[in-house]
Structure 1
Amino acid sequence: MEPVPGEPAAVARLGSERALVVADYHAGIEAGLRYERGVELESNAAVRRVRLLGLLDRIDPDRLVVLGDLGHRIGGSADEEGDELDELLGAVLDRVPLTLVRGNHDAGVPARFESMDDDSLLVTDSGGVRLGRVGFVHGHTWPAREVVESDVVCVGHEHPAVRLEDSVGGGRKERAWLRGPLRPEPFAEHLGLDVDDLDWRAPEIIVFPAFNDRSGGTWVNVDGQGFLSPFLPEALRGDETEAFLLDGTRLGPYRSV
């Protein structure tokens, strides 16, 4: 699994396939923000689509994997979001098959997939899927056992970000990757197993930054900001889990950034 420099995306080797992996696309977020918060923003749908299609053209993968929240509106996709999804899916499927790991915002997305009647689309359940030696889960629920028993576990949902300050107290927020080893105990307990019963491969977890730069996120180095996933941060080895900026800058253990 290798991040694409400067982008909230990575390339995964899945046996005979190479996949481009992104998380938290949140199509139609502007309509959601207008409805949920009264925030008026011009739609960035075309920019998002061009960015993703540009990555597909640049990387030339065999598959696109979206780590959940392809859409934004919980409970269904309609109007602006639906139009954005239809145009995006049509353009993506002209290039590669798509695997969507179901996220908490994706309730209405599979119905649009079904209407397209295309076998190049795969939607997993919320427990995720293992492709090759890599496990994928959105992160709003516990991962399936096969995902935990992978060499690498890829997670979305958190939209991790760090707050960086300069010498005079000015600050800015930057999207970030989190990477580090996983602890088996929380997963064994959740599955009702002894740790020794797991086919534990000492996997690395990779928590993906959100592809959508308007979707907010978890500030992992700010007191009072908690993780959203039910297995984080308990499943992390905190001192060994590091934060990286999109340009590859290594910030060290996320807790001390």
Structure 2
Amino acid sequence: MSQELSQSGYPVYRHEERKRDIEFATENEQTMNAISEHVEKHIGKISSVFHEIISDLIHLDILIVNPTKERNYYTIVTSGMSNLPMNVPEGAEEFKFAELMLCLPSDWKLSQEAFELEENYWPIHWLKKMARLPHEYQTWLYLAHTVPNGDPAQPFASNTQLSGMILSVPTIVEDLKSFFTLSLPNETDVHFFSLIPLYKEEMDLKLKSGADALFEKLEKAGVNEIINLKRKNVAKKGFLFF
């Protein structure tokens, strides 16, 4: 892993692919049950779970909460990223364990047949990819960390120009403080971060001007973890707020 600084002073990490054999992982039933109860308490009843058959490094399940009248979107949450600690820097030990989430429009196709097309599968693909990344590269993920789809960044699929992810804090829960941190019986704290897909220009804005500048624009534009394939690019010239 190499590190350099962006124009805004943020570190940019470049990871090389690790050559290794698959490391089979099994499900941590106690932790998964705790995460499931946490999701149902703060978001809603879990309608289905995408279970992994063969797992590398961590057994990673995807929890699905169906749309409701109050929450007219799917909520998708990982369960298993926190089975292993991340390699956090000194001073960030309390953030060793994390899970990720994002939301999809109520008309998004979530069947196994639909997932044969990357246009439907890429949000799930990237939840799983991001959840494994810290363990694959012995690094960590935290608030405002961005991961592009390649270098240079390429669109996730043919139905979008979105091409990277940034970690944020969830906005869809009423009690963020209670939802953000799940304290397990073994005194481990698991933190729940949301993923927001970004355009390449928005990632460039963060590198140039910092995460605060980007988050301010995203917030003003109403951008959050609910994916909107037609949303405006807040970093493009001519984008105005009214």
| TM-score bracket relative to the smaller structure | under 0.3
TM-score by length of 2: 0.27
